[in-house]
Structure 1
Amino acid sequence: MKALLFAAGRGTRLKPLTDTMPKALVPVAGKPLLWHTLTRLREAGATEVVVNVHHFGEQIISYLDKHDFGIPVHVSDEREELLDTGGGLRQAMKLFTPNDNSILIHNVDILSNAPLREFYEANKDADAALMVSERVTNRYLLFDDNNYLRAWANLQTGEVRTPFQNLDIASLHRYAFSGIHLVSPRLLSFLEEFPKIFPIMNFYLQTCDQLSFRGVFTPTLRLLDVGKQDTLKEAEDFLLML
């Protein structure tokens, strides 16, 4: 299993901690978020990982140099320019050992009980698969009866994004995105058509009429986004329950 760990974010919601360190190195239960997520990926079967870096990227590089996770860990360096998730994925894809294996993508600040190995094995034939749940939010991905991505909707603003004409939005199933997904390396040629900097969700929503993007509903999913100061203590308790 190849895995990409998104760790380049500025972590503005975790200020003032992130005034002096990257979000990836913010400690939870005595270990950095980076350690928790990398360890989880390795235990799920990852044999090669790419970590992208930007904000205080040199600290992450130094940390990786000093800690052996038992598998190759490469750095996708975005210190000069943050590429967003789509541009970051495209750059990182070129650092993996060339083969047909899909890439599992995981945010560094997500803690969960997600069945990563099972998710990967069951969906490695897809162009992309997005782990979703029924979590309450304002923004949803919309899927058809066969669980293929068709649109995105913001319930608060009424905005809908889709490449499909005359789509019956009311007939679609809405789920919240977990930040955990996988992509096939064959998507690289499609990603090359996009600008240098772009969100991966833009790619999904602009090409879901050409490619097969599968939604994977995980009813037992418990997930915590460690993005704010007040979630750090909650994160320690969350880890104890996993």
Structure 2
Amino acid sequence: MIFAAGLGTRMAPLTDRCPKPLIPVAGRTLLDRALDMGRQAGASRIVVNTHYLGAQIADHLAGSQVAISDEPDLLDTGGGLRKALPLLGPESPSGPVMTLNPDVVWTGPNPLAALQAAWRDDMDALLALVPLDRARARVGAGDFSLDARGRISRKGDFVYAGAQIIRPQLLANIPDRAFSLNRLWDLMIARGSAFGMVHSGGWCDVGRPEAIAEAETLLTEAHA
């Protein structure tokens, strides 16, 4: 699943008339970059959720066989994933499923493929992480720490990079309609079943207009 329903307020004024996933970086939209990553990792079903200027995203995806989960009201990442589960296939309520944030540029190994290679049956979630000192255009502190077994805990010098494999079963424990996946991660952290994998390549958060140039520099460096 690709999360594309956000308002993109940090990216204004570029998002005044264009949804953030359709903003181009180095000549290719953020959404198309995310779709390429999913397809290259072997995803057989891809779902994109939409809300703000969703018709533009639907037009962009027309004829692509990508399913759209439209959200008349914003559901945040947790609620959005739960709404999209029927479109992800009959096995999706138990999972695992891959999710991806499109407002990121990566270099190096495909993170979704790397997550699949590292996935184990004892995991409820496996998050792609980058060290804070390699997180280009990141604003703010880190998100997580890693222990010797690779389990995550809150606060630390690793940033959630926007890609993960996650089992959706614990969504049933959250009654709210709209909520963040942070709620689900906290349940899994408490169970000791939330893990992290450090991405070995480059990464840039494309959340603000000035980050586009930095992301393009990252891509240029990777192909130098």
Query: Given the two structures, how large is their TM-score scaled by the length of structure 1?
Result: 0.79
Extract unaligned runs of 5+ from structure 1.
Answer: 154-172
Q: Which amino acid aligns with 1:145?
A: A
- Over the aligned positions, Cα root-mean-square deviation in angstroms equals 2.0
Change (3 A) 1:191 1:176: same
1:208 alignment partner, SS class: helix
2: distance between equivalents of 1:181 and 1:36? 16
Mapped to 1, the partners of 2:143 and 2:185 lie a distance apart of: 13
CA distance in 1, matches of 2:17, 2:194: 38
Pairwise mapping of residues 186-197 of structure 1 onto structure 2 (< 5 A)? Answer: 187-188=168-169, 190-194=170-174, 195-197=176-178
Q: Is the 8 A contact 2:188 2:194 kept in 1?
A: no
2:48 equivalent in structure 1: 51
Which of 198, 201, 205 is the aligned partner of 2:182?
A: 201
- Cα distance in 2, alignment partners of residues 208 and 40 from structure 1: 27
The amino acid of 2:154's aligned partner reads W
Which residue does 1:74 correspond to in 2?
67
Deviation, structure 1 residue 144: 2.9
Matching residue of 2:145: 142
Q: CA shift at 1:19, angstroms?
A: 0.7
Write the distance in 2 (CA, Å) between the matches of 1:118 and 1:236.
23
Greater shift after overlay, 118-127 or 50-59? Answer: 118-127
In 2, the alpha carbon distance for the partners of 1:216 and 1:228 equals: 26
Q: What's the counterpart of residue 137 of structure 2? A: none
Counterpart position of 2:85: 93
CA distance in 2, matches of 1:40, 1:145: 29
* Deviation of the 1:174 alpha carbon: 4.7
Residues 49 and 73, structure 1, Cα contact 8 Å, conserved in 2:
yes
Which secondary structure state, in structure 2, belongs to the residue aligned with residue 98 of structure 1? coil
Output one character per residue of 1:46-97: Cα deviation in whole Å (capped at 9) or x when no partner. Answer: 221110111101110111115x3xxx4111111x111111111111222111
Identical aligned pairs, as a percentage? 33
SS in 1 for 2:15: helix
Specify the alignment match of 2:207 in structure 1. Answer: 227
Q: In the superposition, relative to structure 1, how do residues 133 and 233 fare at CA in structure 2: closer, same or farther (>3 Å)? A: closer
Displacement of 1:208 in angstroms is: 2.1
Please name the residue that 1:121 is paired with. 117
Contact 2:130/2:203 (<8 A) preserved: no
Partners of 1:147 and 1:60 in 2: CA distance = 37
Query: 1:206 and 1:118, CA in 2 relative to 1: closer, same or farther beyond 3 A?
Result: closer
Match of 1:238 among 210, 218, 223: 218
Which of the residues 103, 108, 111 maps onto 2:105? 111
| 1:52–1:92 Cα contact (<8 Å) kept | yes
Q: 3-state DSSP class of the match of 1:132? A: strand
How does the TM-score come out when normalised to structure 2? 0.85
User: In the alignment, residue 94 of structure 1 is paired with which amino acid?
Assistant: P
CA shift at 1:124, angstroms?
A: 5.4
Asked whether the 8 Å contact 1:139–1:152 carries over to 2, the reply is: no
The residue type paired with residue 63 of structure 1 is H
Cα distance, 1:216 vs structure 2: 1.3
Q: How many residues align?
A: 210
Aligned counterpart, 2:23: 26
* 2:49 alignment partner, SS class: strand
- Structure 2 Cα separation of the partners of residues 61 and 183 of structure 1: 26
